[in-house]
Structure 1
Amino acid sequence: MLDQISQIRADAAQRVQTAATMTDLDAARREYLGKSGSIPALRRGLGALPADDRRTVGAAIHEALQTLTAAVEAREQELLDAEPALDTPLDVTLPGLPTGTGGLHPTIQLMYDLDDAFAALNFDRYTGPEISSELYEFDNLNFPPEHPARESMDTFWLAGMEGRSAGERLALRPHLTGASVRYMREHEPPFRFVYPGRVYRNETTDARHERAFYQYEVLLVDEKVPITAGKALVDTILATTFGHPVTTRMRTGFFPFVEPGFEIDMQCQVCGGEGCRTCHQVGWLEIMPGGVPHPNVLRAGGLDPDRWTGFYVNVGLDRLVMMRYGIDDVRLMHSADLRYLRQFA
């Protein structure tokens, strides 16, 4: 029996060492170490041996089993190390694979397009803080103390603001208009500037509303600014967005920070004015407020309203992008869905 074990052990070691592939090695493993293999068969025959021989033969079988198992594992590692990482040899003379290209988010792309258009008109670009205060977002903009926009149902106030007011009461900016006073206090008139950025509202999301979205504000201040200058600002924004003149209408509207104020509507570019989900079936989309800065806002900015006047517009960039690309749900803009974003890469 011991001679048989030695012969099987030598044959198995030879098979394992000469295995050229993982398939060959697996075949050797099954032949000698598998359930029906030679080594387990010897172990099952121990019961037929005399009691005095079982201990010696059993120890020899156990040693052969451990030695062959270690040899199989070592050979397996050698084969894996020698195995090429590629299915076929690498031809270094072939041209490389093209790399993928990224792209700007459509909202950011439109923002840059408008920046370029207004830079050509000699407008400055201003950036302000996203965390602002009640002083800049409401008090300086002529909002009355009881205005509902000051409530938490509309504005995201920072925690711990109870009992505070004015400059000590902080919030995520609900609009960009507060930057107009900041800019006026930091610069000398006349002014021409744009102020793009993200704003935050405590709103229920639907196809037309989001809690965080982008706006683009334009302010022109000079000693004499006709309403037609404001119309030129609107035309610049829409012509840059769509590449062609867009039909608009201006309706009288009330906003605390302008007097007179206007609701500026554009013809829906998704349905061409026929009516669709985006425009609530009316053919028009309220796209921006506008108007002449209120005298109290000019005073808050350190200007004399008897000398200085101007025109202001603030447009929702996400809504313009919806019109530009025919998108009917604003929630797609912030969904991080790669299927959506790859269309603009």
Structure 2
Amino acid sequence: MDFETLRASAKQEIEHIKNLAELEAWRVKYVGRKAELTLFLRSLAHMPLGERRAFGPKANALRKEFEQLHQKKLSSIGNQSQENYALDMTQPGTKYDIGHLHPVTQVKNELNDAFKFLGFEIYEGPEISSEGYDFDNMNFPDDHPARESMDTYWIKPESVGKSAGAKKGFEKLCLRPHLTGVSVRYMQTHKPPFRFVYPGRVFRNEATDAGHECAFYQYEALIVDKDISLAGGKILVSTILERVFGAQVTTRMRPGFFPFVEPGFEIDMQCLNCSGAGCSICGDGWVEMMPGGLPHPNVLAVGGIDPKQWQGFYINIGLDRITMMKYGIDDIRLLHSGDMRFLRQF
């Protein structure tokens, strides 16, 4: 290999280079992976010892020289670019779009802060659950209508055959229709007393309208201790709502049946969109915000907790609905539309 000829050619070409694109082409040609000098250096391993000692130092020295030429030219081109750049102080600045949190996320974070202030832990569970966790553990009867496909999104098994449709319990998977099954997952891995919240998205096979969606967000809280009362639970609900809305909110409690609580109740708040007069969101001036009650003894038992020693208090907040009340939104579908004209208002 003629090192002198290669050196002369490289120096002559680099002197006429005026921009970075040409310099990169020069680098690839003389020190790139497929460059003549690079291939020669690789071939040294197969040469006799005498030739390696004769040509190796020369080839390495030439490669180092090329790299120095490249670096020097690179600095020269960079300096020229800076000298040619002139800052126009009268030119308007560039406006950058700054992202922000979705209104549902904002309210969720406010609830997290409020509950953490009261000593609650934040917990998350999987969106893909099972009949065992969301129905069997929750004390739902075998013939409960919520188990039907008209209410719950069941996941088709991968296996095909007669046994595929016979799966039950923890083998029968679904998109979680509520968050309450997450509470058992927590109870099975923690020892009481404890208090925690678990926000997340749930899925229902139902028609959408101004007040309902097939995929929406809930926010649940559970306390397990040895001395829990409904009066204390009511104070907790009032405290949380006052923290979210910045003022006292008119609420009412009425009896309600849910398989996983005993006794159970419904908590409604006066509609802030119409001040109780009635609108497309509430209908009669009241908005159903959350069910609640004391966890059923069967639910505590499957969570590994002795219902004779421990009791609890549970609430489920409709996160989308409380967001609508806070910001005066009259259609839940706007929250999930992805319409930037709507989202930029928050």
Q: Which runs of 5+ in 1 are unaligned?
A: 1-88
Counterpart in the other structure of 2:339: 337
Among candidates 218, 239, 247, match of residue 242 of structure 2: 239
Q: How does 1:286-297 map to 2 (within 5 A)?
A: 286-297=288-299
Aligned residues: 255
Say what the alpha-carbon RMSD is for the aligned residues: 1.4
Q: Output one character per residue of 1:139-192: Cα deviation in whole Å (capped at 9) or x when no partner.
A: 001000000000100000001262100010000000000011110011110110
2:192 corresponds, among 189, 194, 202, to 189
Which of residues 260, 282, 285 in structure 2 aligns to 1:283?
A: 285
Deviations 1:109-146 (A, max 9, x none): 10001000111111000000000011100000100000
Which string of whole-angstrom CA distances, capped at 9 and with x for unpartnered residues, describes residues 273-302 of structure 1? Answer: 11111111x111111100000000000101
SS at match of 2:341: helix
Q: Which residue of 2 aligns with 1:174?
A: 177
SS in 2 for 1:118: helix
Cross-structure match for 1:163: 166
Deviations 1:54-86 (A, max 9, x none): xxxxxxxxxxxxxxxxxxxxxxxxxxxxxxxxx
Q: CA deviation at 1:233?
A: 2.5
Structure 1 stretch displaced more, 303-312 or 238-247? 238-247
CA distance in structure 1 between the aligned counterparts of 2:236 and 2:312, rounded to whole angstroms: 12
Q: Which residue of 2 aligns with 1:251?
A: 254
User: 1:343 is paired with a residue of what secondary structure?
Assistant: coil
- Give 3-state SS (helix, strand or coil) of 1:141's partner: coil
Give the C-alpha shift of residue 237 in structure 1.
Answer: 2.7
SS in 1 for 2:287: strand
- Identity over aligned residues, as a percent? 64
Structure 1 position 101 matched with structure 2 position 103:
no
Give, as a single letter, the amino acid of the residue that structure 2 aligns with 1:171: C
Corresponding residue for residue 9 of structure 2: none
Q: Which has the larger radius of gyration?
A: 1
Whichever residue aligns with residue 324 of structure 2, its letter is M
Deviates more, 1:153-162 or 1:176-185: 153-162
Q: TM-score under structure 2 normalisation? A: 0.72
CA distance in 1 between partners of 2:106 and 2:320 (Å)? 11
Match of 1:210 among 203, 210, 213: 213
Off by >6 Å, runs of 4+ in structure 1: none
Segments of 5+ residues of structure 2 without an aligned counterpart are 1-85, 158-163
Instruction: Determine the C-alpha separation between the residues in 2 that align with 1:180 and 1:228.
Output: 22
Question: Does residue 269 of the first structure (1) align with residue 252 of the second (2)?
Answer: no
User: Residue 302 of structure 1 aligns with which residue?
Assistant: 304
For 1:128, give the aligned amino acid: G
Task: Kindly report which structure 2 residues correspond to 1:2-41, keeping only aligned pairs within 5 A, or say none.
Answer: none
Aligned partners of 2:230 and 2:132: how far apart in 1?
29
State the match for 2:126 in structure 1.
129
Q: Secondary structure at the match of 1:207?
A: coil
Offset of 1:90 from its aligned partner? 6.4
